[in-house]
Structure 1
Amino acid sequence: MGKLLPKRLGTAGTGDAQLLRKPELLAPAGDWECARAAIENGADAIYFGLECFNARLRAHNFATTELPEIMARLHERGVRGYVTFNTLVFADELAQAEDFLRKIIAAGTDAAIVQDVGICRLIRRLSPDFPIHASTQMSITSEAGVRFAAELGCSVAVLARECSLQEVAAIREKCEADWVSLPLEIFVHGALCVAYSGQCLTSEALGGRSANRGECAQACRLPYELISDGKNVPLGDRRYLLSPQDLAGLDALPGIVRAGVSSLKIEGRLKSPEYVAAVTGVYRRALDKAWAELGPQAEALASSTAVSGKPAASGETPSAQEERYQLDMTFSRGFHTGWLEGIDNQQLVHARFGKKRGVRLGTVKSTTPHGLLIVPEGPVKPGDGVVVDQGRPDLPEAGGNVNAVEPQGKLLFLRLHGDALQRVRIEPGSIVWKTADPALERTLRQSFEVEQPRYKRPLEARTEGADGQPLRLTVWDEEGLEAVAESAQPLETAQRQPLAEAILRKQLGRLGDTPFFLAALDNRLPGGLMLPLSLLNACRREAVERLLEKRRTGQRWTLLSPSDNEADDETKMTAGPEAIPPPSAKANPALIPLVRSLEQLDAALEHPAGDIYVELENPRRYPEAVERVRAAGAGHTVWVAPPRIFKTGEDWIIKQLLGCGADGFLARNHEHLRALAGQRLRGDFSLNVANPLTARWLIERWGLERLTCSYDLNASQLAALLESAPPAWFEVTLHQHMPMFHMEHCVFCAFLSSGKDFRDCGRPCETQSVSLRDRVGAEHPLKADAGCRNTLFNARAQTGAEFAQDLLGLGVRHFRIEFLNESPQEVRETLHRYAALLRGEINGTQLWHELRLVNQLGVTRGTLRD
């Protein structure tokens, strides 16, 4: 009873009808105020983090001890609560992670949002039924990723932000064709990461802070210069080359619903409660409207009050212009549909600024020490905050609060508080932005600083009884929970005014400070009966309170005790290395070069026989690379490294791989695991192997020969992994230019062409050598792959040479040496020096001084020698 009705609609491109359900609206909550803002503005669910293991450590977050109270309050309001457990977890943290997870499950949390494969495995050991949502940090971009998540026991898959609606619909259709019916969640509003979530190593490479551990330093929001073939490319005031506009999927909502999306996620656990209130309210109204207008059953379903809640407060619905203003003012770097409507590299990044702006007020005509004379374009009033944007990130910005607005013909003079304008010379033509509106903030706060519930959810009721029997009142909510109460006295024949349906509706609808409104009444009472209204009201109060108590109790998940898992081999493995056979001390260490050009390959072939990894931008050149290895005749084996991301429609790349004749492949994503099954496979760093549970799943389930340890591991964390699982499972990258940003955004297309994507950009990536120069003068090389995705590499190579002997002692026998733009001679010299290092002929300090490398293993702080 009370469940939302599905709609069966035709899908674009098919003649079949699909069963659609109204998507959940999922809002962020960085603290209690944000949670209230989400609840009172119509969120169906919120997501929030705890003290650790969440990807927004800078948010206030909640304490684990608060979980029971949080969940009771959410459930009373008909709102689900999901805990973000969306970071990688290291081997020496698994015991702590298990303790956190037990508390999360016991508190009746509705789900955990998880990035780490090993944590999914751990949750399933602890509870067979607790819901897991596969985080966007899992980089799910195709149906293979959804199947991967389903096999791990996930109940929802959060797709990468880079998926278009066409790709989302295709993923859903292909999954359903294979009987994989995992609900799909996408982001619809908020900040866009320029890099694929779960694949960004920039903060770590530059500052020792891991984005996969909740410590993103937002290097994408900084200015860069574009260098092409050694020359600076003049871009005017466009300096923020990696800072996307914020996502706004408002206009795309009908298409999102038609694509079969089950949950609409709003970004913003670091944002203010006013932001949460505004965005949740705007999307609540838009989603309800889009749902009501869909399909042939729209009119009937729109009239069913059981399909959504409603605000209790009266008042006019904001206009579209007013709603856009709220979105702009609460947080905006400019809005765009992101990748929802496909790739448009000219629109995604405007590159003028990388921080919050708000509403554009106009341009500067002239200035005085006390204010700005502007050509107005937007509304402004005393009390608003403004800032002047000169398109010069090297200059401090001027601005302040408006004391007075003085019309001067068609111009406006903004008299500002303080002396901010006296410190900066402002050029005419500079843009003025409104960055704060205290009046709007007060209005938004009023939406959630309320004594009684503002947003109410539907309640349905049924009345039954007969003369001489108690009135029986049954109530139920939209989730199907129900409660029953009976009147303290029996019904009797009415002498004057019987209980007509109008009276029942009025009295049962007096739900006051409860979180309900009466959506429907099924009156089964015979006519001509009466009951004192005081008893009817008491019956209503009792039934509603019983229903609320059921809601507060929430779902109770199975939670197994530690003894239930004593026979679990995985549990034994995470307890320590004693059950693992020691590595053979006789095995010779092997260097595995990864090369990115045929010239580097020729140089690597001069090294003693062994494995060589080859990564080329054009997969059609792999047969030539394989032929060169075969022609060398020195016993080398060649392994191909495909693109890190696979998206629907890129099967041609898989065909090229299978036909190139390579000895094996580096599996870098979910599609490689499935499509290349039966081939020799090794897992690459992009699979984010940080603990033994993840390693075991990939080795045993997917038949991988070996795994590259995650680049998030520092030396001590790497040691913990090697001590908790067979060292023979792993190889360690000892030398590389760290791949920092890996992104769908194509800098070549956006700033070296006028095209939208690969179809009209002219392919400047094939003819120009490009790098991005940062604020300290480092020039980071930029490369494109076969899918037109870009990777920005660290300008300087780094080495873990000083840790090589410790790693050998821990059992590591396979070391990767990655090359980027090095010449053939540099490849020869580097391999020669590392071979000498592993033989003990030179030490690590000598090597990194000789090669002028950054002395660093992994990207987070730490050392093997504690």
Structure 2
Amino acid sequence: MTDKAALRREDIELLAPAGDWECLRAAVANGADAIFFGVEKFNARARANNFQSSELPEIMKFLHRYGVKGFLTFNILVFEEELPEAKKVVEACIDAGVDAVIVQDLGLVKMIREISPDFPIHGSTQMTITSPEAVEFTKPYGLERVVLGRENNLKQIRQIGDQAKLPMEVFVHGALCVSYSGQCLTSEMWGGRSANRGECAQACRLPYDLMVDGVQKPMGDIAYLLSPKDLAAVELVPDLIEAGVTSFKIEGRLKSPEYVANVVSKYRRAIDKHFAGDESAPSREEVRELQQSFSRGFTHGFLKGTNNKQLVEGTFPKSRGVYLGRVEKVLRDAVICSLEAPLKRGDGIVFDAGDPTKKEEGGRVYDIRRSGVKLEGEAPEGDRIEIVCGRNDVDLSRVHEGDRVWKTSDPALDRRLRGTFETEKPYRTFGVAVSVFGQEGAPMRTIWTDLSRGTTVAVESEMPLESALKRPLGHEVLDEQFGRLGGTLFHLDRLEVALKGDVILPKSELNRMRREAAERLEELREQPPVYVKREVDEYKDTAKSEAVRPNVKDIRLTALCRNLEQVEAAAESKEVAMIYADFEFIKQFPAAIEVCRKAGKPIALATPRIHMPGENGYHRNILNLKPEAVLIRNTGALYYYLKERMEKPGERHPKLIGDFSLNVANHKTVEVFREAGCDLITPSYDLNIQQMVDMLRRVDASDLEVVLHQHLPMFHTEHCVYCTFLSEGTDYTNCGRPCEQHRASLQDRIGMSHPVRVDEGCRNTVYNAIEQSGAEYLDTFLDLGVGSYRIEFLEESADKVREVVSLYRSAIDGRVKGTEVWRKLKATNQLGVTRGQLVK
């Protein structure tokens, strides 16, 4: 990693989004150092226009011409049968000179390294990298940088950089996911549109009722309990640089080119100001312009630490723009408002009555009056004015005193922003140094150096120099002729003339030489970098032998329990081979260990889903309890336990079981974790039955444990529902721990209540209300050689644990069919049961 004390302007990268060519141009024109974009497949914004793979050479030529890097987003999970197509995209990126691919799937990372040892890879935020240990886990694959989780604060970012010493990319602006990236299964569960596949349906932006101990809590106009405000860290640019961040990432591949132009220009100015020694904050006008392009309300996210109250307001889920004030009086054709921001004729406004689920009144401002007198131009902040709306746009009978007024659009700002990239002029130019040599009777030789790249071309005249009778070639004449670089990418920075005697060339020849030099230098800028590319067979490392159905007596059934009552019930059962304890608080683990020891049952303790800097004490406590196994839920934790194994070879170490949250979706990812040291691996919950079968056919299925039954964990989030809505506090230090006294759930629009549970790190998991069962597919899994199956409990009673365990063991032993298990579960469960994402 670059030494933070020595960071220079050129060490800092401003990274902009582009969903189409207009956005690409807007980003370049407004000062982006790099662009990230997707092609038609394999990226986390399936709804964006995206580019086509065939456009990659043209995109990279355009970007490299301006000295801008281009990163392709490959930030989704790749299913087994997609690996050949994924390989083609990677090869197209290598051929086109893409500067890096941003990758989520560690199996894809493995495949890319097989294809090319030097093609740059960036670890996506979808990898859920939030600790130094998680960074260390990626190092054998030679990642050039990591994109940290949005939940890391400045102190943690600094700590990760200091310990892991790998360049860090951090989101600084745009929409915040309420769930940890790579750990959201809501869209997958409810609509088969996985966030891990770029198809997020934004369930976090929907309204929910808060149920506390089974009773609905009155919340007034607060309904969007999982919808965070937008991230805006423009004023934290100096702090981020001080923390060691080298890439400032702007979210927004679904946004407009005006948004891209606006946000990029503001962060470009903030970065440049810092290196010029100007530490002043952005102006109110700059912040308002950022809000105007897109804003659900601005927050620093988690960069300055967790503040649940600031993160989620809960009154609206979509962009509002700039807050103008409240309606003080409704007139016949206008409303009176004391402005908190400037307003002019033609701006768009909306009246916010506190319920965005209902139709809201809004439209264009027709006129602005002060005490009945029409105003020309813009009404300033602080002015008490009458806002005149068109009768066809706004029904003022539905507008009330006290309604909030927002400026939703500013056509003049949009025109100004479009003007930055809708131009025939080059978006930026680069200095050239020219050296001139020659003498009478010989061609004039010129050396042209592109100072930003260090590339050089030599251009000779096509005719010899002649003796000059008047006005010989000198510095003044050559500066004038060679300096006419308008319309090219270059401007003349330095000129050295070393001609012998008074000589001359026609101006037409000087112009030709200038044009040739500019064209050749531009061609050099467009040359793609050259990477090693090898021919590989993406399936050469797959299992060769036919799967063998395991003997019934060798098939393991394990039970994951979330309270001591469940552990006791599972420990009594002869049908359970091992128990997983996944408790909210680590202080409950010793009691579970004692129960299992008395029953002679092996126990595995579950790690949290997230691993932050300074949280290794949790894992030390697990090791001190000496469980037979540990359920590993993130690569940071996995690295910790693997390091313990390596450093203490003589000691007994627990088995390491990789959980679903490691996002294993293809045989190469299985290999990554098997080779790393996992004894058992759980497939991703993103796989439907066909995708699961495709993967199982290509691996040794005895290495895998399939979860047959669970409440799917949908959101996993740093945002604490208990703290935000059941306390006066802002974080775990002052919330009063309402999670220890109450049980909260989120009731959706169809009346389903989804339980919200807290872990040791005060992170929340929202579980699906309905249990999911894969019982109908059990025979398929057995035929493919899977020998270990898990059932997971959430709030079930001891009797329910015994009943469900018995049902699944009967199916494994062949006493009942999986379809019968399904029917019994559906009949006995109050809310029924679902096949969830396993359905094709």
1:294 shift after superposition: 8.6
Retained in 2: the 8 A contact 1:42–1:280? yes
Q: Is residue 2:639 matched to residue 1:674?
A: yes
Structure 1 counterpart SS, 2:249: strand
1:236 shift after superposition: 2.6
Matching residue of 1:799: 773
Matching residue of 1:442: 415
Matching residue of 2:606: 641
Matching residue of 2:149: 160
Residue identity in the other structure for 2:539: T
Q: 1:672 to 1:371 in 2, by over 3 A?
A: same
Q: Is residue 2:588 matched to residue 1:628?
A: no
Cα distance in 2 between the residues matched to 1:130 and 1:721: 26
Q: 1:128 to 1:797 in 2, by over 3 A?
A: same
Q: 1:516 to 1:235 in 2, by over 3 A?
A: farther
Q: Which residue of 834, 837, 840 maps to 1:859?
A: 837
1:216 shift after superposition: 0.3
Cα distance in 1 between the residues matched to 2:474 and 2:732: 69
Cα distance in 2 between the residues matched to 1:603 and 1:242: 35
Matching residue of 2:519: 545
Q: Is residue 2:557 matched to residue 1:582?
A: no
Cα distance in 1 between the residues matched to 2:220 and 2:334: 27
Matching residue of 1:3: none
Residue identity in the other structure for 2:151: E
1:501 shift after superposition: 5.6
| Residue pairs, 1:420-431, within 5 angstroms | 421-422=394-395, 425-431=398-404
Residue identity in the other structure for 1:846: R
Cα distance in 2 between the residues matched to 1:274 and 1:20: 25
Cα distance in 2 between the residues matched to 1:18 and 1:515: 28
Residue identity in the other structure for 2:183: Q
Retained in 1: the 8 A contact 2:773–2:822? no
Matching residue of 2:659: 684
Q: Deviations over 1:482-529 (max 9, x none)?
A: 3333444667898766766666555544321122344x4263747987
Deviates more, 1:470-479 or 1:654-663: 470-479
Matching residue of 1:281: 265
Q: Is residue 2:736 matched to residue 1:762?
A: yes
Residue identity in the other structure for 2:39: L
Q: 1:783 to 1:521 in 2, by over 3 A?
A: same
Structure 2 counterpart SS, 1:262: strand
Structure 1 counterpart SS, 2:386: strand
Q: Which residue of 428, 433, 444 maps to 1:461?
A: 433
Retained in 2: the 8 A contact 1:732–1:816? yes
Matching residue of 1:663: 628
Structure 2 counterpart SS, 1:465: strand
Retained in 2: the 8 A contact 1:483–1:544? no
Q: 1:291 to 1:857 in 2, by over 3 A?
A: farther
Cα distance in 2 between the residues matched to 1:358 and 1:650: 39
Q: 1:31 to 1:122 in 2, by over 3 A?
A: same
Q: 1:748 to 1:481 in 2, by over 3 A?
A: farther
Q: Deviations over 1:111-148 (max 9, x none)?
A: 11111111111111222221111111001111122222
Retained in 1: the 8 A contact 2:745–2:756? yes
1:281 shift after superposition: 1.3
Cα distance in 1 between the residues matched to 2:466 and 2:156: 63
Cα distance in 2 between the residues matched to 1:516 and 1:753: 60
Q: 1:756 to 1:827 in 2, by over 3 A?
A: same
Retained in 2: the 8 A contact 1:114–1:120? yes
Cα distance in 1 between the residues matched to 2:511 and 2:413: 39
Q: Is residue 2:627 matched to residue 1:654?
A: no
Cα distance in 1 between the residues matched to 2:86 and 2:307: 41
Matching residue of 2:378: none
Structure 2 counterpart SS, 1:146: helix
| Residue pairs, 1:275-674, within 5 angstroms | 275-293=259-277, 320-367=283-330, 370-408=333-371, 411-419=384-392, 421-422=394-395, 425-454=398-427, 456-465=428-437, 467=439, 470-488=444-462, 507-518=481-492, 520-521=493-494, 523=496, 525=498, 532=505, 534-562=508-536, 571-574=539-542, 578-579=544-545, 582-586=548-552, 588-608=554-574, 609-633=576-600, 636-674=601-639
Where structure 1 has 5 or more consecutive residues not aligned to the other structure, the ranges are: 1-5, 11-16, 177-181, 296-317
Q: 1:695 to 1:529 in 2, by over 3 A?
A: farther
Q: Deviations over 1:604-644 (max 9, x none)?
A: 111115111111122233223212211223xx110010101
Structure 2 counterpart SS, 1:733: strand
Cα distance in 2 between the residues matched to 1:491 and 1:857: 84
Q: 1:607 to 1:835 in 2, by over 3 A?
A: same
1:323 shift after superposition: 2.2
Q: 1:851 to 1:530 in 2, by over 3 A?
A: farther
1:28 shift after superposition: 0.8
Retained in 2: the 8 A contact 1:87–1:116? yes
1:174 shift after superposition: 0.6
Where structure 2 has 5 or more consecutive residues not aligned to the other structure, the ranges are: 373-382, 646-652
Matching residue of 2:718: 744
Retained in 2: the 8 A contact 1:499–1:528? no
Q: Which residue of 203, 216, 219 maps to 1:219?
A: 203
Residue identity in the other structure for 2:57: P
Q: Which residue of 198, 206, 210 maps to 2:194?
A: 210
Cα distance in 2 between the residues matched to 1:857 and 1:506: 75
Residue identity in the other structure for 1:87: I
Retained in 2: the 8 A contact 1:406–1:412? yes
Cα distance in 2 between the residues matched to 1:366 and 1:846: 61
Cα distance in 2 between the residues matched to 1:27 and 1:671: 28
Retained in 2: the 8 A contact 1:465–1:491? no
Deviates more, 1:503-512 or 1:549-558: 503-512
Retained in 2: the 8 A contact 1:209–1:859? no
Structure 2 counterpart SS, 1:447: helix
Cα distance in 2 between the residues matched to 1:491 and 1:57: 61
Q: 1:243 to 1:501 in 2, by over 3 A?
A: farther
Cα distance in 2 between the residues matched to 1:587 and 1:128: 45
Cα distance in 1 between the residues matched to 2:801 and 2:328: 58
Residue identity in the other structure for 2:556: A
Cα distance in 2 between the residues matched to 1:861 and 1:534: 72
Residue identity in the other structure for 1:683: G
1:530 shift after superposition: 6.1
Cα distance in 2 between the residues matched to 1:285 and 1:498: 45
How many equivalent pairs are there?
Answer: 812
Deviates more, 1:581-590 or 1:604-613: 581-590
1:252 shift after superposition: 0.7
1:371 shift after superposition: 4.2
Deviates more, 1:836-845 or 1:327-336: 836-845
Matching residue of 1:305: none
Retained in 2: the 8 A contact 1:474–1:482? yes
Matching residue of 1:256: 240
Between the aligned residues of both structures, percent identity stands at 45
Residue identity in the other structure for 2:573: H
Cα distance in 2 between the residues matched to 1:738 and 1:319: 44
Q: Deviations over 1:82-107 (max 9, x none)?
A: 11111101111112211222222222
Matching residue of 1:822: 796
Q: Deviations over 1:274-331 (max 9, x none)?
A: 1111111111121112223299xxxxxxxxxxxxxxxxxxxxxx98333222211111
Cα distance in 2 between the residues matched to 1:377 and 1:103: 51
Retained in 2: the 8 A contact 1:20–1:260? no
Matching residue of 2:52: 63
- The TM-score with structure 1 as length reference comes to 0.89
Q: 1:369 to 1:56 in 2, by over 3 A?
A: farther
Cα distance in 2 between the residues matched to 1:7 and 1:507: 42
Residue identity in the other structure for 2:437: G
Q: 1:478 to 1:406 in 2, by over 3 A?
A: same
Cα distance in 1 between the residues matched to 2:4 and 2:620: 35
